[in-house]
Structure 1
Amino acid sequence: MGQQARRFGRQISPVFLGIVAVMAVTGWAVWTGYSTSTGLAVFLFVTSAWIVSLCLHEYAHARTALHSGDLSVEDRGYLTLDPLKYTHALLSIVLPVVFLILGGLGLPGGAVYIERGRIRHRWQHSLISAAGPLANVAFALVCTAPFWLGGIEDVPLPFRFALGFLALLQVSAAILNFLPVPGLDGYGVIEPWLPDRTRRELAPLAPVGLLLVFGLLWIPAVNQLFFGFVRDILAALGVSDLESYCGRALYTFWRESDGVCEVVVPG
């Protein structure tokens, strides 16, 4: 690959920059109260921030693969952060956004295509798989920094609640991604170390692994256990249940409110 082609393959996409711009403008609107509809502003801010985090998730996979020997990620445009370049844009972007809107769940997306034959070491395969959810962890730490560094009292309540809900999405996505289930990144971390026979037997489960996990979350006991773990992590980061709950309530502004968050955020 020539130097000019390589530069083009790593140039940040205007599509991604546009999404970042939407996130910045709507974040400013939430912070200042400029928008006539706080709920709509929170919805646009959280959704655009969520898409940005999905792009960073996939970029982390691709960038780690690049440094592990798979130069093909440049040709496919994965390093441009363009969500339209993903192998499964429907799984990587559309479905996670749909599930976010419908249920407020940080559902992990699909994956970029990595030419695994170019990767020499097992630990590199594991690191490539781990890089994506680690990007969600980093995003969660950034979202919650005002909470655990102090000074959150100076942050306007709507923006504070939006950060709390966004942090919940990042933490839940990281946990789901790290599950050792075929088709998820957690399985990709341990797969290189499994016997060949075990890998062959589990391979057919990869296309339905995410659906199985999502189905399990519909079981009340499993759902309660999972989100209890998510809340424990958020609490350790300084985010209360009320903050993440009100963030979700503001995000789903089209639903009838139970009145709890109107007391905290008048009007």
Structure 2
Amino acid sequence: MEGLNDFLLYPLEELPFLALVLIIAFTLHEFAHAYAAYKFGDDTAYKLGRVTLNPAVHLDVFGTLLILIAGFGWAKPVPVNPLRFKRPRLMNIVVAVVGPLSNLLLMAFGVLMVNILNSTGILHDAPERVIDALNIFFKYFIYMNGMLFLFNLLPLPPLDGYRIVYELLPKRTRIILDQYSQWGIFIFLLLVFIPALNRATIGPYLSLVGDLHNMLRSFFSLFF
């Protein structure tokens, strides 16, 4: 067990809480993409059964396990055909945005619940193991959803941030990007797996999760 703990980024005893959080976060993220695309007129994901809250449809086993080892991961991407939208560029941006936005809303919900539990004292007489379990769950619930929100906004393929930036650029620039987009995934993997590059680029960016958490906590503290 000790050897396995050394291999993982997170304590072995906390993995069930982390797994539950990832199931919720990934499922809502991909469902948001699929549902928005379907409502805008693209039934590609709908025909594949992706407009559902069933986690089994959305989760990628390797992508989920990779979070435990490398600190990042993914779910099965939702296929989107922007040509079926009435306003392809605008609606493609919205479809891309709603995924990360779902994680931001989940993060805000987690911070709100912690504020409510702390301010009301509703758990004052609860068993210590229950309090510890809730603390661990919400710790991961808030951090992971904040991380997924920020991470997916990075302007690198295949992340949502790239789709957003891509649609905002002029046609000439998009044509140039199309010629090199196949290399984007390799740049993305280099930034993630090479420690020096990760610390210089993605690491500082994801440190904003703490700032975002503090902002949400300060906001909700105005009401509780």
Bin of the TM-score, shorter chain as denominator length: 0.7 to 0.9
Question: In the alignment, residue 36 of structure 2 is paired with which amino acid?
Answer: T
**Distance in 2, Cα, partners of 1:106 & 1:144:** 22
Matched pairs, number = 195
2:215 aligned partner: 236
Name which of structure 1's ranges 47-56 and 127-136 shifts more when overlaid on structure 2: 47-56
How far the C-alpha of 1:62 sits from its partner, in A, is 0.9
- Structure 2 portions without partners, runs of 5+: 1-10, 124-129, 219-224
How far apart are the structure 2 equivalents of 1:188 and 1:223? 18
Which one of the candidate residues 193, 197, 209 is aligned to 2:168?
Answer: 193
Distance in 1 separating the partners of 2:63 and 2:142: 15
What is aligned with 1:156? Answer: 131
Question: What residue identity is the alignment partner of 2:159?
Answer: L
Secondary structure (helix, strand or coil) at the match of 2:65 reads helix
Specify the code of the residue in structure 2 equivalent to 1:147: V
Conserved 8 A contact 1:107-1:172: no
Look up the match of 1:52: 24
Q: Are 2:80 and 1:114 equivalent residues in the alignment?
A: yes
Alignment-derived partner of residue 113 in structure 2: 146
The match for 1:36 is none
Code of the aligned partner of 1:182: P
**1:73 aligned to 36, 42, 45, which one?**
45
Instruction: Indicate conservation of the 8 Å contact 2:156/2:162, yes or no.
Output: yes
Q: Go from structure 1 to structure 2 and tell me whether the alpha carbon gap of 1:47 and 1:210 turns closer, same or farther (over 3 Å shift).
A: farther
Comparing 145-154 and 60-69, the one that deviates more: 145-154
For residues 173 and 144 of structure 1, the distance between their equivalents in structure 2, rounded to whole angstroms, comes to 16
Work out the CA distance in 2 between the residues paired with 1:70 and 1:41: 42
Q: TM-score, normalised by structure 1?
A: 0.63
* Partners of 1:56 and 1:77 in 2: CA distance: 14
- Matches of 1:52 and 1:205, distance apart in 2: 34
**Unaligned stretches of 5+ in structure 1?**
1-38, 87-91, 240-267
Taking only the aligned residue pairs, the percentage that are identical comes to 23
- In structure 2, how many angstroms separate the alpha carbons of the residues matched to 1:184 and 1:205? 15
Paired residues for 1:63-102 under 5 Å: 63-85=35-57, 93-102=60-69
Contact 1:143 1:167 in 2 (8 A): yes
Report the aligned-residue RMSD: 2.8
Partner-residue secondary structure (3-state), 2:80 = coil
Check if 1:132 corresponds to 2:104: no
Residue 197 to residue 163, structure 1, CA distance change in 2 (3 Å): same
Letter in 1 for 2:176: E
**One-letter amino acid of the structure 2 residue matched with residue 44 of structure 1:** P
Cα distance in 2 for partners of 1:118, 1:102 equals: 38
Provide the secondary structure at the position in 2 that maps to 1:182.
Answer: coil
Which digits, 9 at most, give the CA deviation of each residue in 1:121-157, with x for residues without a partner?
1221110111111111111122222334452764713
For residues 195-234 of structure 1, the aligned pairs below 5 Å read 195-207=170-182, 209-217=184-192, 218-219=195-196, 220-222=199-201, 224-234=203-213
User: Aligned AA for 2:216?
Assistant: L
